[in-house]
Amino acid sequence: MTTTVIGVGLIGGSMALDLKASGFSGRILGVDQSSDNASRALSLGLVDEVVDLRQGLESADLVILAVPVNAATTLLPGILDALAPGAVVTDAGSTKRGICEAVQDHPRRGRFVPSHPIAGTENSGPGAALHGLFRDKLGIICDRESSDPDALARVTELYGVLGMRVLFMDAREHDRHVAYVSHISHISSFVLATTVLEIEKSTSTIFDLAGSGFESTVRLAKSSPAMWTPIFEQNAQFVCEALDAYIKNITAFKELLEAGQTAKLARTMEEANAIRRVLAGMNGVKNEAKNDVTNGVKNGSTYIV
């Protein structure tokens, strides 16, 4: 199988590494608008050959669109127009509703499988690509009823080869959920970093006091603004909904502190400790899902396979 990866950064490059190592793809072609990124991906062995978009589409059995979500939404209709007969295209964006709507009436919509591999680091570019980045992580496929069965099977197999468990979701529900569990985490990190940097201008010793808690909380602020700005833009409705809830809770926390309501403050933090149960449950689902790869276990409105 020939796979064309459009965007050979962290996500696209990491996929290329594992797909080639596994034998799933015998040939990996790379497409990138940055000649520096393309050359770097070739020198690192992420791809076998760098080609232009037209060549990549003509030669591919599978196309992985791993570019910022605004670029993916713009490119996808033309990619479907030029896709080789029988080929499949999937994307790796962390918003799904916009890209699905962009091609909902396209005559070759069935060849597209919208997906979101939930994995990554705060680093970017070809040099950030890692073997095993996706193993034991979650890969989400959205609106599967709009994809051709063979296209859906190919992308499901792709995620299996990467070592991911697969969850099927509605695109709108996907965007709403990731606003709370992913996008707001990045916003919190960006805002915390901004706040601390403002203080650091007048207090040069502040970073001497920073411990591992600060480092882990602010780590996401190193993420690429070029990637995250369009994510926030495309998912603005649900991100703002999440922010409203977050601001309400942080304001309530501040008011308890100002009022000296230490007992209520302690109860608030004790209630927040329930996140341990949620995280433990997530780990349990991960382990259970490994045993359900062929069973298609239904979980509410989603399906784990």
Tell me how far apart the alpha carbons of residues 290 and 270 are, in angstroms, rounded to a whole number.
32
Asked which of 169, 198, 219 is the last residue of a domain, the reply is 169
In the chain, count H helices and then E strands: 13, 11
Q: Are residues 58 and 154 in the same domain?
A: yes
Average pLDDT over residues 169-198: 91
Q: Are residues 13 and 151 in the same domain?
A: yes
Would the pTM of this model clear 0.85, i.e. be above it?
no
Q: Are residues 121 and 244 in the same domain?
A: no
> Domain for residue 284, yes or no?
no
Q: Are residues 163 and 179 in the same domain?
A: no
Write the pLDDT tens digit of every residue in 234-269. Answer: 999 999 999 999 999 999 999 999 999 999 999 999
- Residue 290 above 60 pLDDT? no
Tell me how far apart the alpha carbons of residues 87 and 62 are, in angstroms, rounded to a whole number.
6
Tell me how far apart the alpha carbons of residues 174 and 62 are, in angstroms, rounded to a whole number.
24
Could you identify the residue written with the tokens 């896709």? Answer: 83
Q: Are residues 121 and 15 in the same domain?
A: yes
Number of domains in the chain: 2
Higher-pLDDT residue of 182, 151:
151
Q: Are residues 119 and 179 in the same domain?
A: no
Question: What's 96's domain CATH number?
Answer: 3.40.50.720
Write the pLDDT tens digit of every residue in 99-141. Answer: 999 999 999 999 999 999 998 887 889 999 999 999 999 999 9
Q: Which domain holds residue 193?
A: 174-272
Q: Are residues 44 and 152 in the same domain?
A: yes
pLDDT at 286: 52
pLDDT at 295: 42
Tell me how far apart the alpha carbons of residues 250 and 268 are, in angstroms, rounded to a whole number.
11
Q: Are residues 200 and 51 in the same domain?
A: no
Q: Are residues 142 and 211 in the same domain?
A: no
**162 and 117 in contact (C-beta within 8 Å)?**
yes
Question: What's 268's domain CATH number?
Answer: 1.10.3660.10
Please report, for residues 97, 109, 304, the alpha-carbon distance to residue 168 in angstroms, rounded to integers and kept in the order given: 14, 17, 7
> Domain for residue 137, yes or no?
yes
> Domain for residue 299, yes or no?
no
Q: Are residues 144 and 198 in the same domain?
A: no
pLDDT at 204: 63
- Residue 297 above 80 pLDDT? no
Tell me how far apart the alpha carbons of residues 41 and 9 are, in angstroms, rounded to a whole number.
8
**122 and 223 in contact (C-beta within 8 Å)?**
yes
Q: Are residues 186 and 239 in the same domain?
A: yes
Picking from 88, 105, 100, the residue whose alpha carbon sits closest to that of residue 152 is 88
Tell me how far apart the alpha carbons of residues 101 and 220 are, in angstroms, rounded to a whole number.
29
Q: Are residues 158 and 195 in the same domain?
A: no
Could you identify the residue written with the tokens 């290329």? Answer: 16
At 222, is the pLDDT very low, low, confident or very high (cuts 50, 70, 90)?
A: confident
Measured over the CA atoms of residue 190, residue 195, residue 198 and residue 204, the dihedral's sign is negative
